[in-house]
Chain A
Amino acid sequence: MYRSNVLVCGGTGCTSSNSLKIVEKLNEELKAKGLEKEVNVITTGCFGLCALGPIMVVYPEGSFYSMVKVEDIPEIVEEHLLKGRIVTRLLYQETVEDDTVKSLNKTAFYAKQKRVALRNCGVIDPEKIDDYIAQDGYAALGKVLTEMKPEEVIQTVLDSGLRGRGGAGFPTGLKWKFAAANDADQKYVCCNADEGDPGAFMDRSVLEGDPHTVIEAMAIAGYAIGASKGYIYVRAEYPIAVKRLQIAIDQAREYGLLGDDIFGTGFNFDLQLRLGAGAFVCGEETSLMTSIEGKRGEPRPRPPFPAVKGLYQKPTILNNVETYANITQIILNGPEWFASMGTEKSKGTKVFALGGKIKHTGLVEVPMGTTLREIVEEIGGGIPNGKKFKAAQTGGPSGGCIPTEHLDIPIDYDNLLEIGSMMGSGGLIVMDETDCMVDIAKFFLEFTVDESCGKCTPCRIGTKRLLEMLEKITKGQGTMEMLDEMEELCYYIKANSLCGLGQTAPNPVLSTLRYFKDEYIAHIKDHKCPAGVCKELLEFKIDKEKCIGCGMCARKCPVSTIHVTDYTAPGKKKPAYEIDPSKCVKCGACMDTCKFGAVSKG
């Protein structure tokens, strides 16, 4: 028995800021103090509060140390772990109140969260199957194999109301039912872990923090539809997730939880990893399966749906990581428990990756129906630097921007569609007044143009034309007619593209046109970018009353277009400088250099 457990986050966010060095240092210091048999150091998955990484929690006290540095470790070991005095200075300050330390679950970031899919992230060591089993791991698989018929499993999932967490929100139970109904000598269970949305990292955190939950759920799905083989298609850009998944699969095989005759019931199921190679379109189900087959990941028309002809032309189900992460809890706690959370048509919880202009960047899991305002202002801690909220972007390149007026809408699949965005996989990027919405639309279109596989014309050429128009507008060469043309083209692409990538690619344009048309008009009519982002429309100016004539800006200017004038402002000793706009490349070096705030852009 250990008297203390130290949990250090080993998710990608915290390892990027050196948490593994912290683990090393901890072990070293503990050994030096002879505490290695009393204090246990555990590397866990993501705690969610990535903005404050690296994160370290000491139990039984529950002390939450944030932004820990390697240099802090000797003090924490000496004071806290040896002498029992918590180092309050290094704690997450929200947990410190009048000299007492309050529970993490009472802080603004965690209080409104309900962790179902993320229940084990930041709690167990993902590389130890025994840790997972201690948290009721593989109990759901045991229950399903020994007490339930496949139809009962499917009915339970149907009753829970679980909908696919990958984006479109198709009822999971229904998918399973279709695949179960098709007879075949071989069926497949696949997991979509090709999280390609820029700014989304929910699935990665589940895989890094709790890989066994996905493996267990896939085995359950295999039993339900009659499949003996499964594939997890995971992005190669997630090396930690890939490594932990492989460890988890090997351990499950060793324990007889994968392989032949699981729990002595005669049920066989085994899994294989497949690494994606960086193609966004492979998040689409038919493309993903083509890619598992080792080919170019291009989509194909549906029907036939994968439940009839999927991987290698056999009946296949494909679910997202987060969807699987809910399955074991539904089996153990019952469908009624799951259906008691959420809204009428969207049950359970949803994980969001909060990013962009927000204080608490990180991972949050909230019941469906939580408002965007609660997520952004309460859990997320609002916008930093006193800036104003402008929009929240959900659904990545397939979604849209939600403006202030819709902040109080309860988030679920249907409400988000209604206001022109979509749930997507759960990326939630917050933007403030310094973000230009035309530029954001252009950013997403650049992404889809790059990632369009080129198979169908509406997507390949349509998105390219759309991007060209956006580029013209951000350069001040747009016309008002262009806005109508763009809208028409958007609807054309949506209606005629082969797969989900093209069908949703125009959404960022449509939603910004809907809510931020005035910004488009300002670019076109006034040749101005209100947020000051679009370089071609900017003009840098020197305020001659503020300029002290030091000439720093002129020396920094890469194109030597800043010259001294013959005007000296009252109270200043030297004549002021001015910018000749004809040669200005708008690099902003002058503005960064000026210590007197005399350079402005607009």
Chain B
Amino acid sequence: MQKKISNLPFKGTPEQEAKLKEVIAKYQDDPGAVMPVLQEAQDIYGYLPIEVQTMVAEGLNVPLEEVYGVSTFYSQFALSPKGKYNISVCLGTACYVKGSGDILNKLSEILGIEAEECTDDGLFSLTACRCIGACGLAPVITVNDDVYGRLTVDDVPGIIEKYKN
């Protein structure tokens, strides 16, 4: 899938940079370090803007194109920031046959954004995700760490309302 690259200016803090440097130091001698470092970098910054990728490349002494290649290859790495509340809709087979496609459409209609986008106020972002394995609760969405299962399209507006305040 084509990844959306953010145009927002990079707003990293010195604390975040110090943390990233620690992570890079921890993996310095590990031959397969690029992925774990990017994973931890994403935990620190929330996403992987080119500035962070550059720091990782320089820190690990690998070419930036390799770091960029890895961060665009794996779906877990986000190149644009997520909203305060990230809504993931599971599109695994079990959820899909139970109507998660309709739920994604409804969310997208209410929020006015497509999957992989963020609302203008930065409150919500929407992701279509791979099976999270809660197939017994299908169809499932998650809002940050909260899981909502056995949903119908009619439940969607109420869930969004809960996070608006």
Contact = CB atoms under 8 A, between A and B. Distances in A.
B38 to A, nearest CB: 8
Contact of B76 (A198, A200, A236, A294): A236
Contacts of B97: 356-357, 429, 431, 435, 440
B130 A355 contact: no
A451 to B, nearest CB: 9
A357 B135 CA distance: 11
B149 A295 contact: no
Interface in B24-50: 31-36, 38-39
B58 interface: no
A296 B69 contact: yes
Nearest to B145: A239
A355 B94 contact: yes
A295 B38 CA distance: 12
B76 A277 contact: yes
B75 interface: yes
B62 to A, nearest CB: 9
Interface stretch (B14-22, B136-144, B155-163): B136-144
Contacts of A548: none
A279 B75 contact: yes
A16 B31 contact: no
Interface string A236-276: 11100000000000000000000000000000000000111
A201 B131 contact: yes
B93 A396 contact: yes
B98 interface: yes
A279 B73 contact: yes
A362 B91 contact: no
A200 B130 CA distance: 11
A488 B83 CA distance: 45
Interface string B66-110: 100110011111000000000000011110111000000000000
A199 interface: yes
Given A16-B149, A51-B136, A278-B76, A429 B1 contact: no
Contact of B91 (A198, A427, A435): A198
A484 to B, nearest CB: 28
Nearest to B67: A294
B5 interface: no
B44 to A, nearest CB: 15
A445 to B, nearest CB: 13
A393 B135 CA distance: 15
B134 A16 contact: yes
A443 to B, nearest CB: 6
Contacts of B33: 294
A204 interface: yes
Identify which of A199, A238, A353, A443 gathers the most chain B CB atoms within 10 Å of its CB: A199
Contacts, number: 128
B131 A199 contact: yes
A166 interface: no
Contacts of B140: 16
A277 B134 CA distance: 19
Nearest to A449: B1
A49 B160 CA distance: 30
A356 B98 contact: yes
A198 B147 CA distance: 18
Nearest to B97: A356
A53 B137 CA distance: 9
Contact of A50 (B77, B129, B135): B135
Contacts of A275: 35-36, 39
Identify which of B38, B94, B134 gathers the most chain A CB atoms within 10 Å of its CB: B94
A279 B149 contact: no
Contacts of B134: 12-13, 16, 50
A16 B148 CA distance: 8
A238 B134 CA distance: 11
A361 interface: yes
Contact of A355 (B32, B35, B93): B93
Nearest to A237: B132
A293 interface: yes
Given A279-B74, A453-B73, A443 B138 contact: no
Interface string A452-486: 01000000000000000000000000000000000
Given A199-B93, A292-B32, 6 more contacts: A13-B137, A50-B135, A199-B131, A236-B39, A297-B73, A356-B94
